[in-house]
Amino acid sequence: MAALYVTSVEPYSGKTAIALGLAKLLQAKGKRVGYLKPLSTQPWRRADGQMVDEDTDFVRRTLGLGPDLAPESPVIVTSAVLRQRLDAGDGGDLLDQVKRAAAAVRQRVDLLLLEGGGSLREGYAMGLSNIRLAENLAAPALVLVRCHRELQVADDALAAKHRLGDQLLGVVFNHVPDEMQEFLNEVARPALEGRGVRVLGALPRRPRLSALSLGELRELLGAEVISKGFDPDALIETFTVGAMTAEAALSRFRRQQNKAVITGGDRADIQLAALETSTVALILTGNLQPSPVVVQQAESLAIPILLVPSNTMEVVDRIEQAYSRTRLGQPEKLEAFLALMQEHLDSERLFSALELT
């Protein structure tokens, strides 16, 4: 049966989201899909103490797949595993156990989705580079290119072709700014197609799709909710730090929609200014309780207050590390992303190349 290897030029380009979207489209056509992440660099310890891959656990729950169709990653890289392999000098070839895991799923499905590494550089230390895996698993590669600049987009697509050769099925541009759409459609796409690079889609940037939910934020920060109005599915599109005068803060806050404001618990002036604008939550640092006036105002507006023990810079660092890895766990986000894929991804051309139509 068919297999598709989904990878990207740089981390946090949307591999898991694209894999989920393709799986959903195929499931709607009555096709059976499987999922495997051959090499996991995001180990996560479950409540039962078992080390698993974070993406695999999420995909299973979202697609309703059991371990037979979405087995655990055959190679999970922790710091200890990497050190042991580097110290050993070789550590043996891990490819066979990856091939066995892939073969077990592949015989049960119409398409096996293989989620590769976050960049074309990943995996060499373990002997499992993206290029080697795609070739040995006989899986055409779909490469995601996150859009920053015109030259970068063209270079990244051509570099993927150079490195993967005939193993490259095509590229999908993701997080495309509005101002780059014309360049991609009228200049880059025909030029790349002329050089043998299939361009299978250009998904526009939608800030709400990369938003953190309040539930994710509470878990990330270990926050205590100290007011009414907490909705774990509410989405935060932007974050801002309130460390200026109340007048300057109000001017900034009015320009930002659906935001969370990070400030000290003793800055009642900043907190009240935030509550006058489009604010999803107040994040108060240093375990400093707000004044009763702020709590009363927040509750009247159903804006939750999250109290965290960390200082402001620690909170900002944690949010920045997590921001690019948000999940499509909320139904609203998943449905919006599927609609985006249906409009901007040539899925029929992709499925045809995989002989799935």
Mean pLDDT in residue range 88-113: 91
Given a cut of 70, whether residue 329 has pLDDT beyond it is: no
Cα torsion angle, 153, 156, 159, 161, sign: negative
Q: What is the CATH number of domain 2-208+327-353?
A: 3.40.50.300
The CA-CA-CA angle for residues 98, 101, 106, to 5°, reads 120
Mean pLDDT in residue range 130-152: 96
Mean pLDDT in residue range 157-165: 96
Percent of the chain with pLDDT over 90: 61
86-100, 103-117, 133-147: lowest mean pLDDT where? Answer: 86-100
pLDDT at 323: 61
Mean pLDDT in residue range 303-320: 89
Whether pTM exceeds 0.75: yes
Contact 110, 31 (CB under 8 A): yes
pLDDT digits (tens, 9 = 90+) for 219-262: 889 999 998 889 988 888 888 888 778 788 788 888 888 889 99
188-202, 214-228, 328-342: lowest mean pLDDT where? Answer: 328-342
Given a cut of 60, whether residue 297 has pLDDT beyond it is: yes
Q: Does domain 212-323 have CATH number 3.40.1390.20?
A: yes
pLDDT at 256: 87
Higher pLDDT, 50 or 128: 128
Domain with CATH 3.40.50.300 in the chain: 2-208+327-353
Residue 82 is given by DSSP the state: H
Which residues, 6 or more positions from 105, have their beta carbon under 8 angstroms from its beta carbon? 34, 35, 36, 68, 69, 70, 71, 112
Domain with CATH 3.40.1390.20 in the chain: 212-323
39-48, 72-81, 130-139, 276-285: lowest mean pLDDT where? Answer: 39-48
Given a cut of 80, whether residue 90 has pLDDT beyond it is: no
Percent of the chain with pLDDT over 70: 96
Mean pLDDT in residue range 115-138: 93
Q: Exposed/middle/buried for 96, CB within 10 Å: 0-12, 13-18, 19+?
A: exposed
Mean pLDDT in residue range 285-298: 92
Higher pLDDT, 196 or 321: 196
Cα-flanking dihedrals φ and ψ of residue 70, to 5°?
Answer: -140, 70
In Å, how far from its chain's centre is CA 354? 25
Comparing CA positions, the residue from 78, 71, 128 lying closest to residue 102 is: 71
